[in-house]
Structure 1
Amino acid sequence: MNDAKILVVDDEPAIVSGCEMILSEQGYHVETCLSGREGLKKLQTVPFDLVLLDIKFPNINGIDILKILKQKNIQVTAVIMTGKGTIENAVEAMKSGAFDFITKPFGEEQLLEVITKALESLTLIKENENLKKQLYDKFDFNNIIGHTPEIQKLFEKIQRVAPLDSTVLLNGESGTGKELFAHAIHEKSNRSKELFLAVDCSTLASTIMESELFGHVKGAFTGADANKQGIFETTSRGTLFLDEIASLDMDIQGKLLRVLETGEYKPVGSSRIKKTAARMVAATNRDLGKMVEKKIFREDLFYRLNVFPLHIPPLRERRKDIPEIAYHFLKIFSRKAHKKIHGFSDDALSALVNFDWPGNVRQLKNVVERLVIMCDAQELNYQSLMDNFQTDSQPAECSSIPTNLEELKIAKKSLLKDRFGPIERSFLRQALDAAEGNISQAARSVGMQRSNFSAMMKKHGIRF
């Protein structure tokens, strides 16, 4: 950090000029003051990385200067210069925020050693602050893209609940970004410096899940060769995010309920009760209320989880956010692919906005990535979109063969909606764009009556 800006404050001209010469030769930017009041004034008006400050002045001492800087939240690393008889004052100065002190008279090597250490410490502090800022930005609302009223209301609710320890239940379709919102809750809470841990409850068998959550003792089961900490112990002061909580079996649900009610649990195979203070954020894409009615989810656990429910709206309910989200992903994937793709054509962007996105933000992300990979132009146009537009969550041809006419009609309707719907919507949009929004002209161009064309627009929620 040889480009650091250093202020030398001392009422002895020989000390000031000597320090200035030594530090300037090392490449530091050095300014000087011959009185404490002058030094304080300069520190309040000009930013410095470090101040080399004498502890004694006629009208004000170095400790008072440090206290004033602290009160006014002026960030500067301080090294105190002190005489042999004022070591106690130097210790007091360090309690007031000084990094270190150096005793007069001192040589060049002593001075450079203490200055180097102070600036190295400053560099580490700045790097740590930058890392914290990067982490905060990653999960700050600025990184959750959305300006629609639905998203803004969600942000407001998160701001209210995040500082508390209340259990939060996130409900939303697959791909809406529930984990991102959970992490935002953690980062805006008083636990932000502690561990955030996400667990997908749908990926582990119930026997393994119990051990993962609560830990186990040696010999609890075959292969348990040693004691193992559970997730509740690991995140005892942090936040535990349980995704797809509807996947838990009834036995685990009962044990989870006990943790929520008392903070107590037992590792597998142990008779000893442990305590946890972990904050719980759960998420599901299923209707837990209906699962309670069907008696496949515990009612008491549902009410414990549902203390502060938050609904994450699907992408089709916040279409105005789609262009911003699409351009966000376009920027990311263009950079990764070392391509200069400037944007979407108007008709391509219109098609993205009017698609229903059953896979939500995750699906939009996958589609944009695929388009970037296949694109050789500087713009993603409508044709390239249609050539590569495949849904990432294609419905199964039929989970089972219909057994009667009513089931056959339902299956047909579902397939038409999922497969033909996007094509029909794009067909309307293309005709309207070509006719510059004139519905009558668009209908004539495709050989339809205006009333039928308008009805089809209404069906897909397209307005001009």
Structure 2
Amino acid sequence: MSISLQYINQDFATMLNAYDCPAILVTPEYRILASNQRYLEIFGAIDLDQPAYCYKASHHHEIPCDQAGEACPLSAAGISGKKQRVLHIHHSPRGKEHVDIEILPILDDKGEVKFFVELLKSVTLANPKIDGNEMVGASLVFNQLVENITRVGPTEASVLLLGETGTGKEIAASAVHLASNRKTQPMVILECSGLTETLFESELFGHVKGAFTGALYNKHGLVEVANGGTLFLDEIGDVPYELQIKLLRLIETGTYRPVGSRETKRSDFRLICATNQDIFSMVERGEFRRDLYYRINVFPIKIPSLNKRKEDIALLTNAILQRIDDSGKYIVTDSAINLLREHDFVGNIRELRNILSRALVLANTQIIDRNVIKTCLEIDRKIGGHSESETDLKGNELRYLQRLIESVNGDKDKAATLAGISTRSLYRKLQ
């Protein structure tokens, strides 16, 4: 490298240090010219004495990302001449990580792109490897989910999570909360399914002593607890129609009154809702208020079913096993993973967790092989009794829970543990 080019690169590095996140300067030919101090601290040094390319440093590819089947924000920014953003999985000193990439083109006086500034922000709410309690995955649909969460998280927009039972909507809601500016404040959860009108209002708004039979003391509602943080309403589609107007008023004004009180209170919260139902169809049938629908549906996020992200099953299997038993002694064979990939998951990730919980009980050694998984799946079929004609999701869920309770001789606590839900949730689903 010539002395003049070395000095030029030093000037570039000084310019990049103005960014508080890792940043590199890249040519339209993908060559890295300089990096800032934050990049060195997080991703390590790049040897610029030899030609270094962004796709090689970040992905260990030998060709640019778009030629390797991935979205390339640099290529897109070169064509549009405007800022581009995408979520990628990058190699780092800590292994593979999800990274939010933003490309800023630098134009000359003729409007042609001369350089790109690439800003890299690690996404801590998800992980393409097994580590901690983050969301786990590396498939395309999973990365799209993480990208949506990363984009909406720092905003105040209301989020509606849409997905089948067991896909991990509560985990996704937690990820939105952790990506927000309210992450140091509480995220309060209300499961709307199975609540009576009085109980719903009492749980959400609180009540004063004597407001109804059994109200023996004043109670703070979840809205008050969520002040400054996030309110997560799970299964929003199950809120009775007559209560939806009160929920709408809360969202629109931020005000509410505890049951039995004349005092109006105020709460500042970020709203996240989730449902496994087709809310728009409910609106069309007159079962869900249209005005409430548009209030909660500011930024909808579709949570993919496990059947649509089966390439993540190996990662999920190891992550779930570590969370069930942190000894790390259990190993799942490739043939067992392949059998899981062939399985049609009705209950999604929750069903996978149940299967693996059984596997730990049935395995005679630390090796979970294909035969163990096959036995677990056969138990599931015997309990669930699925058939092609049973297309009602709630009916399937109810039948499954009832047979599960029968299999453990009526022990609802044990049945709830096997189903991967709380005992309270089990009682509500049975109602």
Distance 1:392 1:252 in 2: 38
Alignment-derived partner of residue 141 in structure 1: 126
Specify which of 197, 204, 215 is matched with residue 206 of structure 1: 197
State how many pairs are aligned: 265
Specify which of 357, 364, 387 is matched with residue 369 of structure 1: 357
Instruction: Report matched runs for 1:345-424 at 5 Å.
Output: 346-389=334-377, 390-391=379-380, 411=389
The answer to whether structure 1 residue 343 and structure 2 residue 321 are counterparts is: no
Distance 1:253 1:145, change over 3 A: same
Alignment-derived partner of residue 64 in structure 2: none
Gaps of 5+ in 2: 1-121, 128-133, 397-431
Distance 1:176 1:226, change over 3 A: same
Q: Following TM superposition, by how much is the alpha carbon of 1:334 offset from its aligned partner in structure 2, in angstroms?
A: 4.5
Q: Please state whether the residue corresponding to 2:261 is helix, strand or coil.
A: coil
Alignment-derived partner of residue 285 in structure 2: 294
Which residue identity does 1:266 align to in structure 2?
R
C-alpha contact (below 8 Å) 2:186/2:230 kept by paired residues:
yes
Which residue identity does 1:302 align to in structure 2?
Y
C-alpha contact (below 8 Å) 1:366/1:392 kept by paired residues:
no
Q: Following TM superposition, by how much is the alpha carbon of 1:324 offset from its aligned partner in structure 2, in angstroms?
A: 0.9
Q: TM-score, normalised by structure 1?
A: 0.54
Distance 1:360 1:380 in 2: 20
C-alpha contact (below 8 Å) 2:206/2:258 kept by paired residues:
yes
Which residue identity does 1:237 align to in structure 2?
G
Q: Following TM superposition, by how much is the alpha carbon of 1:150 offset from its aligned partner in structure 2, in angstroms?
A: 1.1
Distance 1:362 1:397, change over 3 A: closer
Alignment-derived partner of residue 218 in structure 1: 209
Distance 1:147 1:226 in 2: 49
The answer to whether structure 1 residue 273 and structure 2 residue 261 are counterparts is: no
Distance 1:152 1:393 in 2: 35
Which residue identity does 2:312 align to in structure 1?
D
Q: Following TM superposition, by how much is the alpha carbon of 1:224 offset from its aligned partner in structure 2, in angstroms?
A: 2.3
Over the matched positions of the two proteins, sequence identity in percent amounts to 40
C-alpha contact (below 8 Å) 1:243/1:283 kept by paired residues:
yes
Distance 2:218 2:150 in 1: 39
Distance 1:412 1:160, change over 3 A: closer
- Structure number with larger C-alpha Rg: 1
Alignment-derived partner of residue 79 in structure 1: none
Gaps of 5+ in 1: 1-136, 399-409, 419-464
Q: Following TM superposition, by how much is the alpha carbon of 1:321 offset from its aligned partner in structure 2, in angstroms?
A: 0.3
More strand by share: 2
Distance 2:193 2:145 in 1: 26
Displaced runs of 4 or more, over 6 A: none
RMSD: 2.6
More helix by share: 1
C-alpha contact (below 8 Å) 2:123/2:150 kept by paired residues:
no
C-alpha contact (below 8 Å) 1:218/1:227 kept by paired residues:
yes
Q: Following TM superposition, by how much is the alpha carbon of 1:225 offset from its aligned partner in structure 2, in angstroms?
A: 3.0
Distance 2:123 2:324 in 1: 17
Q: Following TM superposition, by how much is the alpha carbon of 1:376 offset from its aligned partner in structure 2, in angstroms?
A: 1.2
Distance 1:359 1:212, change over 3 A: same
Distance 1:351 1:197, change over 3 A: same
Instruction: Report matched runs for 1:40-439 at 5 Å.
Output: 140-142=125-127, 143-335=134-326, 340-344=329-333, 346-389=334-377, 390-391=379-380, 411=389
Q: Following TM superposition, by how much is the alpha carbon of 1:188 offset from its aligned partner in structure 2, in angstroms?
A: 1.3
Q: Following TM superposition, by how much is the alpha carbon of 1:387 offset from its aligned partner in structure 2, in angstroms?
A: 1.8
Distance 2:178 2:391 in 1: 44
Distance 1:230 1:365 in 2: 32
Which residue identity does 1:370 align to in structure 2?
R
